[in-house]
């Protein structure tokens, strides 16, 4: 990856191309539809066993925060991807309404900080898992302070732990495997990940 600074002060590899914007928007829109389905079926079903158990399926809501940066490899991709997906899910009519956007900001920011810490140069499975942990921490901060604020600390701690575990398994490992699978099909040939 090039780190040369162009005349405009932005590295060439950090510049967003039109295709980058379109692909992140399309991926995130698809994830937003998945969120809507996940909210209304998987989450509802899992909630029957209690919120602590249901927290083990929340990693699906973090997928765009990891998949989008792994594909386009640009600063801001995690936050952009998570925000678009949250917005689409909200428009489709999820149970959380506008709160989805706050949750999306925290989740996307958590993943974004991990990629930024690596100076947007690490895109392997370890980066994917660490980014998922960042997104999971963002999700846990949101949920334990807003969604489950009325519960005692031990109950919320279990929820936070379950959400971070789900983040690693679904958003971390799942995103890495999904991007690898897409790369094999040739669908990502226009991106660095396809090289």
Cβ–Cβ under 8 Å, residues 24 and 50: no
Total residues belonging to the chain: 195
Q: In the predicted model, is pLDDT for residue 7 greater than 80?
A: no
What's the angle, vertex CA 193, arms to CA 187 and CA 195, rounded to 5?
Answer: 90
Over the stretch 66-108, which tens digit does the pLDDT of each residue have? 999 999 999 999 999 999 999 999 999 877 888 889 999 999 9
Asked whether the beta carbons of 168 and 59 are under 8 A apart, the reply is yes
Q: What is the mean pLDDT of the chain?
A: 89
Q: 1 vs 174, which has greater pLDDT?
A: 174
**C-beta neighbour count of 68 within 10 angstroms:** 31
Residue whose pair of structure tokens reads 């949101």 in the numeric block: 142
Taking the C-alpha atoms of residue 38 and residue 60, their distance in angstroms, rounded to an integer, is 8
Phi-psi domain of 22 (left: phi exceeds 0; alpha: psi -120 through 50; beta: other): alpha
- Write down the domain spans for the chain: 17-187
Q: What is the pTM of this model?
A: 0.87
Strand partners, 5: 11
Tell me, what's the pLDDT at 172? 96
State mean pLDDT over 177-187: 87
CATH number attached to the domain at 17-187: 1.10.1760
- Tens digit of each residue's pLDDT (9 = 90 or more) over 111-167: 999 999 998 888 899 999 999 999 999 999 999 999 999 999 999 999 999 999 999
| Residue 2 confidence (pLDDT) above 80 | no
Q: Is the confidence at residue 42, as pLDDT, over 70?
A: yes
CB-count exposure of residue 11 (10 Å: 0-12, 13-18, 19+): middle
Contact indicator for 104, 141 with CB cutoff of 8 Å: no
Q: What is the largest CA-CA distance in the chain?
A: 57
Does residue 32 contact residue 83 with C-beta atoms inside 8 Å? no
């Amino acid at each position: 990856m090039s780190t040369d600074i162009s005349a405009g002060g932005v590295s060439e590899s950090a510049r967003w191309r039109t295709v980058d914007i379109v692909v992140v928007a399309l991926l995130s829109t698809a994830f937003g539809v998945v969120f809507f389905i996940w909210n209304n079926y998987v989450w509802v079903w899992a909630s029957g066993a209690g919120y602590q158990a249901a927290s083990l399926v929340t990693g699906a809501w973090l997928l765009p925060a990891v998949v989008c940066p792994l594909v386009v490899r640009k600063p801001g991709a995690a936050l952009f991807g998570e925000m678009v997906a949250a917005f689409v899910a909200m428009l489709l009519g999820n149970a959380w309404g506008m709160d989805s956007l706050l949750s999306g900001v925290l989740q996307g920011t958590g993943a974004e900080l991990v990629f930024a810490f690596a100076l947007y140069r690490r895109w392997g499975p370890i980066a994917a898992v660490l980014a998922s942990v960042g997104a999971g921490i963002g999700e846990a901060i949101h949920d334990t302070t807003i969604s489950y604020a009325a519960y005692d600390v031990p109950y919320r701690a279990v929820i936070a732990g379950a959400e971070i575990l789900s983040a690693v398994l679904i958003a971390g490992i799942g995103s890495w495997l999904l991007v690898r699978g897409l790369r094999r099909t040739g669908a990502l040939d226009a991106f660095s990940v396809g090289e």
